[in-house]
Amino acid sequence: MRNPRFLFFSRYLNATPFLGFKQKSRSLQTLAYEEVRANNDKPYKSTAFVLHGLLGSARNWRSFSKTLVSSLEKNSYSSDWRMVLVDMRNHGRSAEIKGLEPPNDLVNAANDLANLVKSEGWDWPDVVIGHSMGGKVALQYAESCARGDYGGSATLPKQLWVLDSVPGEVNPEESDGEVEKVLQTLQSLPSEIPSRKWLVDHMMELGFSKSLSQWIGSNLKKSGDHETWAFDLQGAVDMFNSYRERSYWSLLENPPDGLHIAIVQAENSDRWSPSVVNRLESLASRTRKESEGKVSVHLLPKSGHWVHVDNPKGLLDIVAPNIVSTP
């Protein structure tokens, strides 16, 4: 089989066009996104939305998405996939888009996805893959879709992949508080950062790891003779608070007909209490009719929370054979 040729491009409202990228105006203020396809010689049949986590962006998932579509074509699971990598509100290039009205919560973050589909005139996504906070946005999207919030034309996805994201409320006592410490630290910094090196050194002096400090530094963008954040910090804080407060256990207890919710637990992640794991495994073991919704749980070995970085091959081996495609 010939090597797949990747189609990779970005579009966003009122974008400044530049070589190799496409521009399209929209009537709705909708999200920035990128597309990854294995083969642009024929039309795609299936679409997966890919949602990043807090303070992340679509680019975090480029490498894994390229590998995934390549694997799907090579192994004949399906050769007609399109991955839509979304910059969620307040993150990446979507942070620059005006008109994404507050409140900055998971309900509106999921609603943004529906508005993107409507604005572009796309078919509704077959699969939604979400990491961390993005996993809860995926759950909210399915819940809202099943409830009819997106209108009669909306179609429920066939599958959700919730990657190292606990579906219930986040109990601060069961967390090491690192995310809260990061957000508090960022809020205490000046809005104009002298340089990326200054930020990394400062974060490390405060006790954060080098890898985390460097990752935070990767979210800076040049603005004149200084650096600014590539995300809307207060908006991201609001989204994190919503992420902690929302629970989707009722959705997992009674998934809509035809919906498969696949939960991936990273082996070395500190986010999973024994009670949560036991509850998920109990839901996954339930006997259900073929037409009913279902839950599955997958353990990703040798990985912490950053599943696409710590063990991308292991994640690929879980997702690729089990992803649901359009017949």
DSSP characters over 205-270: HTT--HHHHHHHHTTEEEETTEEEESS-HHHHHHHHHHHHH---HHHHHSPPTT-EEEEEEETT-S
Domains of the chain, start order:
33-170+238-320 (3.40.50.1820), 178-230 (no CATH)
Give the pair of three-digit tokens for residue 227: 């650096």
pTM: 0.88
Place 10 in a pLDDT band, splitting at 50, 70 and 90.
very low
State the first-to-last Cα distance of the chain, in angstroms, to the nearest integer: 22
Residue 262 has pLDDT above 80, yes or no: yes
Q: pLDDT band at residue 327, thresholds of 50, 70 and 90? A: low
Q: Copy the structure tokens of residue 272.
A: 């999973």
Q: In this predicted model, which residue has the larger pLDDT, 250 or 177?
A: 250
In degrees and rounded to multiples of 5, residue 204 shows phi and psi of -65, -35
Does pLDDT of 5 surpass 50?
Answer: no
Q: What three-state secondary structure class fits 147?
A: helix
Comparing 53 with 99, which gets the higher pLDDT? 53
CA distance linking residue 25 with residue 12, whole number of Å: 8
